[in-house]
Chains A and B, each alone.
Chain A
Amino acid sequence: MTTVEEVLGLGDDALVAAQRLAQWTARAHELEEDVALANIALDQLGAARLLLSYAGELEGAGRDEDALAYLRDDREFRNVLLVELPNGDFAVTVAKLLFLAAYQRDRYRQLAAGEDERLAGIAGKTVKESAYHLDHAALWTLRLGDGTAESHRRMQSAVDEIWPYTYELFEGNELRPGWLATVEPVLAEATLTRPDDGGWAPRGGREGRHTEHLSYLLAELQVLHRAHAGASW
């Protein structure tokens, strides 16, 4: 049986990732990348809407995608910490996207073959999108990792910064070995060092214990909707 919490986790990951990626609009290093990041943000947002709608139906309390996105407080969000971390420089964004997309692709692939038909339908669509996100993130990981001395330093530092947050992705699933098999060769080819395991592993997102960043992110996301209670848009 699929639980509301589980679907909220998937939907909130996508929603918060979309919100972060949307913050890049009109800020990328080239116009072409502006368009690319917006495409990925739109994919994540589309997935979030489908997943939150489904979570609302499962819950059966009459909450639609907007009620769930705009009227829950940060403690009620079930996303992993990784997606709520600030964008940082382009290297941090690429590292976040690489790790997230590799996980989402495998997770959606699993759900697409699962018993919940509704979820399988959604995942069948999103798994293709995640595969492209992974491809795009891998492309940039290589170019930044094996580009200039400065880009290498920035990319390594981004990988080191984000790596601890990846453990939380695998709570309640067995996907980490497959994920490592995807991510490690990319890091190696990009001449980056894969951080050692066994260190700091922050967690709590799936239970609603977030970083300080999420509250700010939601304040921005929700401010207008909440200022006009009950209004249609």
Chain B
Amino acid sequence: MGELSPLWEVFVRPRRGLSHVHAGSIHAPDAATALHNARDVYTRRQEGVSIWVVPAAEITASSPDEKDAFFDPAADKVYRHPTFYHVPDGAKHL
């Protein structure tokens, strides 16, 4: 009895102008079949105009254990956000 095929993560671009967004996963033996399966499972209601499939095993994710080291350093760099700055009255197009 055949083994179940590998897992693929599915990303769908809902409309032109928007980014691909993770929709879920499917199983498929290869990339072409994965695309067909993703199309049939995740875009039955016209949810997308473009699909990416990525072997789940090929995704490297940041670890929650390293979350502080990864993301907290960004927390005190408020000067990266436009709201940090005072815009003098009367200055336009900034």
User: Which residues of A come within 8 Å of B, CB atoms?
Assistant: 29-30, 32-33, 35-36, 39, 135-136, 139, 143
Contact = CB atoms under 8 A, between A and B. Distances in A.
Contacts of A33: 37
Given A30-B27, A32-B27, A143-B29, A136 B5 contact: no
B33 to A, nearest CB: 6
Contacts of A36: 36-37, 40
Contacts of A32: 26-28, 37, 40-41
B32 A139 contact: yes
Contacts of B29: 143
B32 A35 contact: no
A30 B5 CA distance: 9
Nearest to B34: A32
Contacts of B5: 30
A143 B31 CA distance: 12
Interface string B40-63: 110010000000000000000000
Report which residue of A29, A30, A139, A143 has the largest number of chain B beta carbons within 10 angstroms of its beta carbon.
A30
Interface of B: 2, 4-5, 26-29, 32-33, 36-37, 40-41, 44
B36 A136 contact: yes
Contacts of A136: 36
Contacts of A139: 32-33, 36
A125 to B, nearest CB: 14
A29 B36 CA distance: 15
Contacts of A29: 2
Given A32-B26, A135-B36, A143-B33, 11 more contacts: A29-B2, A30-B5, A32-B37, A32-B40, A33-B37, A35-B37, A35-B44, A36-B36, A136-B36, A139-B33, A139-B36
A136 B40 CA distance: 11
Contacts of B41: 32, 35
B82 to A, nearest CB: 45
B38 to A, nearest CB: 9
A136 B37 CA distance: 10
Nearest to B30: A143
Contacts of B44: 35, 39
A169 B38 CA distance: 32
Contacts of A35: 37, 40-41, 44
A39 B41 CA distance: 10
Task: Name the residue in B5, B28, B41 with the highest tally of chain A Cβ atoms < 10 Å from its Cβ.
Answer: B41
A135 B33 CA distance: 11
Contacts of A143: 29, 33
A29 B33 CA distance: 14
A39 B40 contact: yes
